[in-house]
Structure 1
Amino acid sequence: MYLNLNRRQLLLGGSALMASTWLSPILAQDEQLRVIFWGNQDRADRTFKVMDAFGEDMGIAMAGEFLAFADYWPKLATQTAAGTAPDVVQMDGAGRYIAEYASRGAIAPLDEFIGKELDFAQFDQDQVEAGKVNDTLYAVSLGSNAFGMIVDTTPFEAAGVDIPGPQTTLDDLYAIAESFKSAGVAQAVTDDRSGSWAALENWLRQQSKALYTSDGELGFDAADMAGWLNLWKGFRDAGVCVSPEVQAMMEGPGTSPLIMGKSATMAEFSNLMSAYQALTTSPLVLTNFPRISLDAPGGYYRRPSMFFSISSTSSRKADAARFINFFVNDVEANTILNAERGIPPSAAVRDGIAGMLEDSARAAVTYVGGLEPLLSPPPPQSPSGGGEINESLLAFAAQEAAFGVRPPEAVAADFIAAAQEALERAG
C-alpha cells in the first residue's frame, strides 16, 4: 500500500512530507526485504513496480520507503545508528557516502556475491570499479551519465557545416565560427563553459591531469587555470562563444544560450538531453566535447548516478544481492525503470530497452554506450571543500575573467590560492 498525502500536504510541497512507504502483496512472511531510496513519485512508482515483480518471482515479501534527497541521509544515519537500516540502501553517485559508510562498517562488502547472486558479465568495467573502496566492492551502480555536448542541428545545416564529433578539436571551433558568420548564422558556436567544473575537468583529463588527486589535493596549478581561462578568452574575442552578458542570464536549461537561440551547442551531461529537447522544436543531438588534439586522451568517464548497497546489519544479504542483480540485469525490470536513474551499466540491458525509450533518452543511451574509445578510469571522489570550489570559486573566477575585471593569470593565481584554502578549511 501507499502512504497517501492529502491535498494540503501536496500543496505545501515541503521535502519533509515527501516520504512514502510501500509493501508488496506477499505478506505471508514475517521478515520482509526492505529497500530505501531517495527520489520523486515517478521514481518511486517505477521502483515499487520492479520490487513487486521481484517479490512475486522469488516469493519474497518486499517493503519500500522513499524520501526527498535532503531528508534521506539524516533518516538513513538514524536507522544505521540504531541498527535498523533497511537491507538495501541507495548510495550517491559522488562516492563520498560509500566511502564513509564502508569505513564505519555500515555497509557490507559484496565481493562474496560476485559470480553468484551478482552477475557482472555484461557490466561496463568502469561501473563495477566505481563501487569499490580500497579495492573491495561495496556498491553496485544503478546507472550512469557522461559529460558531452548538446548540439542544435539547425544552424549547422544552415551554414553547411558538419556537426561536431569525435574528430572535432577545440581549434576547429574557430573555423566553424567563420562559416557561421559567412552563412549569416547569428548564433555563436558554443556557450561559455569557462565556469563549468565538468568542462574544466574534461579539459584537464585530456592532458592526463585532474581536478583533484586521490589524496584530496588540487590536481592542477595556476598555469593550468590560466590556460583554461585564456582558452575561453580566445573564444570570446573571436565570437566562438557567447558574450559574458548572455552567459550570465542562464539560470537553468530554459534560459540557457542554446534554448534562447544564442548558441548552437552547449556542453552538458547526457542525462539532461531530454530536458533540453523538451524546450525546443529544433532537433538536438548529443556528441562529445571537442578535443585538445586527436592524439590526446578523450578525458571521459561514465559517471555513476547512484548505487545500491547492502546494510551490514541485514540478515538477508544474499536475497538483497539477488534483488540488486534483478534491478540492474533484468530487461523487463529496466523497461519499467526507463533509464530514469541513468544509462544502464549492463550492455545487454541497454540493447534490450533501446527500442522502448523516447528518442532523446535513446540518444543519451547511444552516446554513453559509444564512448569507449574516449574513456579513461574515473577520477577519485571530490574531497571535502570540493563543492565550494566547483560551484562557487570557479564560477566567480570565470566571471572575473570573462568580464575583464583582471587578466586571466591574476584570476588564476587567486583562484588556486582560494581553492587550496577551501580544502584546508574543510579538511
Structure 2
Amino acid sequence: MKLTTLSLALATTALVTSAGAEDLRMSWWGGDSRHAATQAALEACGAKHGHTISPEYTGWSGHFEKLTTQIAGRTEADLMQVNWPWLSFYSADGGGLADLNKFSDTIDLSNWEASQIEAGTMNGALNGLPVSTTGRLFAFNKTTWDAAGLDLPTTWDELLAAGPVFKEKLGEDYYPFEAAALDAALIMTLYGTQRSGNPLIDPKTNSIAWSKDDFVSAIEFYGQLVDSGVIPAWQDVASAGNVPLHENPKWAAGKIAGTYQWDSTYFKISDPLGEDQELVYVDLLGQAGMKTPGIYRKASMVFSISANSDKQQAAAEVLNCLLNEPEGVSALGSTRGVPASATAREQLLSADAIQPIQIEAQAKVIEAEGPGIHPMMEFPSVRSAMQDNLELFAYGELDASEAADEMIMAIEEALEDIRS
C-alpha cells in the first residue's frame, strides 16, 4: 500500500513525537570552518529527529579547563566533543561519561573497527566514538618555498639550511617554519623520539622513557631552529600577541611557510591562504641515525554523551546522525579529518567531498611508524612542564640542562598521580 504525502507526513510527525522532542546542548572546539559545519549539521540532524540543539563552541585554548569545570559541576552539554586522552581523566572507571554500548540500537557501531571502539572504551564502557584518526604532519607552503628557490625539505638539516636562504632571497620577515608554545614542545618531542626511539612517556610503565641527554638534545635543537632563522623567536611570537597560526596574517601571506599540525586541521590552516598559494604535506622530517620516524598518532576527538544528561536517548540520535546519517555526514564533511565511520567515509568519497590532499595526509599518518602515545602527553600538567620550561630556555633563564631537569621533575610529579 502506498502512503500519500499527507499520511507520510503524519506518520513522520508521529514518529518524531513518540521519540520525544528535546532541547539539547552540544559543545566542541575548533576553527571557523568546523564551527560553521557543525552548526549546519546540528540544524539538519535536529530537524530530522525533532530536537533542538544549542551549540557551544570555543577555540582549542582553554577548552579542557572549561569542560573539566563543567563536568565537575554537572553542567556539561548533553553531547560533547572530547579529546581522546581526556577520557582517562573524565572516566577512568568508565562511569564518568555515558556508555554508548547501551544505545547500540540507535548508534550503528558496526561502522567502526574493533581497534577504534577499543580506543574509546574505558573499563568496558564505550565512553567516546572516534571521529577520525589523526596525526601530526609537516605542511609547507610550496609557493613560498618555490619563490625561495628551494625544494621542500625531507630532513631537519635541510630545514635548518633554509633559514638563511629565506632571509637572503625573500626578506628578513620570511620564515620557512613556525614553532612556539605547544607546537614548539611537540617539535621537541618528535626530535627526541626520533633520536631515542622511545616515546617520552612509556604507555606500558607510566614512566619517562627518555634519558636526560635525550631531553637536552631536543631542547638544544629548538634553539638551533631559532638561531638559524628557521622559526620566529619565542619572544617575537609573544610580543605579537601569540596569535594562533590560522589567524596570523604572516601565515596567510606566505611569510611563514611551514608548520607541524594535526592532519584533521587541514581546512583550519588552508582556508586563510590565498588561492594562488599551495599547501603541501610531506613525510616526517628525519635526522641522521634516527631510530623511528616518530609519528604522533592517536584517535582524534571523540563524541561523547554526558553521564549526567537526562536526555541521553535524544543525544544518541543526534550523535548517530552526525557520524552515520547522510544529513549530518554531508554537513560536517571532513572538517574533523577523514571520518572513522565507514559509512561517512564512503559517502564523502563518493561525493568527492574529501580532497585528495586530505586522503594523502591520512595515508601518511596511517603508514608512518612510531611508538604508542601516552594519554598523559596531552594533559595540562605534562604540557605545562614541557612548554613552560622550554619558554624559560627560549628566554635564556635556563640552559638546556637546567630546563631538562625541570621538565623531568615536573613530569614525574604528574605521573605519580596515575601510579599511586
Q: TM-score, normalised by structure 2?
A: 0.71
Query: How far apart are residue 374 of structure 1 and its match?
Result: 0.8
For 2:261 and 2:128, the matched residues in 1 are separated by 26
The alignment status of 1:226 with 2:221, answered yes or no, reads: no
1:270-349 equivalence runs, <5 A: 270-281=263-274, 282-292=277-287, 296-309=292-305, 311=307, 324-346=319-341, 349=344
The alignment status of 1:399 with 2:391, answered yes or no, reads: yes
1:177-192 equivalence runs, <5 A: 177=163, 180=166, 187-192=174-179
Hey, what does 2:137 align to over in structure 1? 148
For 1:244 and 1:99, the matched residues in 2 are separated by 31
The structure with the greater share of residues assigned to helix is: 2
CA, structure 1 residues 409+172, in 2 after alignment: closer, same or farther (shift >3 Å)? same
Contact 1:127-1:304 at 8 Å conserved across structures: no
For 2:369 and 2:325, the matched residues in 1 are separated by 26
Letter in 2 for 1:382: M
Match of 2:243 among 251, 256, 261: 251
SS at match of 1:161: coil
Per-residue CA deviation, residues 384-407 of structure 1 (Å, 9 max, x unaligned), is 9x41441x4433322333344443
Query: How far apart are residue 183 of structure 1 and its match?
Result: 5.2
CA, structure 1 residues 331+47, in 2 after alignment: closer, same or farther (shift >3 Å)? same
CA, structure 1 residues 368+110, in 2 after alignment: closer, same or farther (shift >3 Å)? same
Query: How far apart are residue 34 of structure 1 and its match?
Result: 7.4
Query: How far apart are residue 109 of structure 1 and its match?
Result: 4.2
Contact 1:142-1:341 at 8 Å conserved across structures: yes
CA, structure 1 residues 295+259, in 2 after alignment: closer, same or farther (shift >3 Å)? same
Contact 1:50-1:327 at 8 Å conserved across structures: yes
Hey, what does 2:47 align to over in structure 1? 52
SS at match of 2:17: coil
Letter in 1 for 2:135: A
1:381-400 equivalence runs, <5 A: 381-382=375-376, 386-390=379-383, 392-400=384-392
1:14-25 equivalence runs, <5 A: none
SS at match of 1:395: helix
Query: How far apart are residue 409 of structure 1 and its match?
Result: 1.8
The alignment status of 1:137 with 2:132, answered yes or no, reads: no
Hey, what does 2:257 align to over in structure 1? 264
Hey, what does 1:415 align to over in structure 2? 407
Hey, what does 1:10 align to over in structure 2? none
Per-residue CA deviation, residues 183-240 of structure 1 (Å, 9 max, x unaligned), is 5675333224586333334334444433434465444343221010122233334444
What residue ranges of structure 1 are gaps of 5+ in the alignment? 1-23, 56-60
RMSD, aligned α-carbons? 4.3
Hey, what does 1:172 align to over in structure 2? 158
CA, structure 1 residues 203+50, in 2 after alignment: closer, same or farther (shift >3 Å)? farther
Query: How far apart are residue 29 of structure 1 and its match?
Result: 1.7
Contact 2:130-2:299 at 8 Å conserved across structures: no
Contact 1:148-1:270 at 8 Å conserved across structures: yes
Query: How far apart are residue 285 of structure 1 and its match?
Result: 2.7
Hey, what does 1:3 align to over in structure 2? none
The alignment status of 1:96 with 2:90, answered yes or no, reads: no
Hey, what does 1:9 align to over in structure 2? none
SS at match of 2:91: helix
Q: Which has the higher contact order (CA 8 A, sep 6+)?
A: 2
Query: How far apart are residue 148 of structure 1 and its match?
Result: 2.0
For 1:230 and 1:323, the matched residues in 2 are separated by 48
Hey, what does 1:6 align to over in structure 2? none
Q: Percent identity?
A: 17
For 1:192 and 1:309, the matched residues in 2 are separated by 35
For 2:134 and 2:266, the matched residues in 1 are separated by 11
Query: How far apart are residue 49 of structure 1 and its match?
Result: 1.1
Match of 2:198 among 190, 200, 209: 209
Letter in 2 for 1:231: F
Query: How far apart are residue 140 of structure 1 and its match?
Result: 0.9
Hey, what does 2:361 align to over in structure 1? 367
Hey, what does 1:162 align to over in structure 2? 151
CA, structure 1 residues 211+234, in 2 after alignment: closer, same or farther (shift >3 Å)? same
1:87-126 equivalence runs, <5 A: 89-90=79-80, 92-97=82-87, 100-101=90-91, 103=93, 105-110=95-100, 118-121=108-111, 123=112
Letter in 2 for 1:349: A
Query: How far apart are residue 78 of structure 1 and its match?
Result: 5.8
CA, structure 1 residues 108+301, in 2 after alignment: closer, same or farther (shift >3 Å)? same
Letter in 1 for 2:376: S
For 1:264 and 1:321, the matched residues in 2 are separated by 42
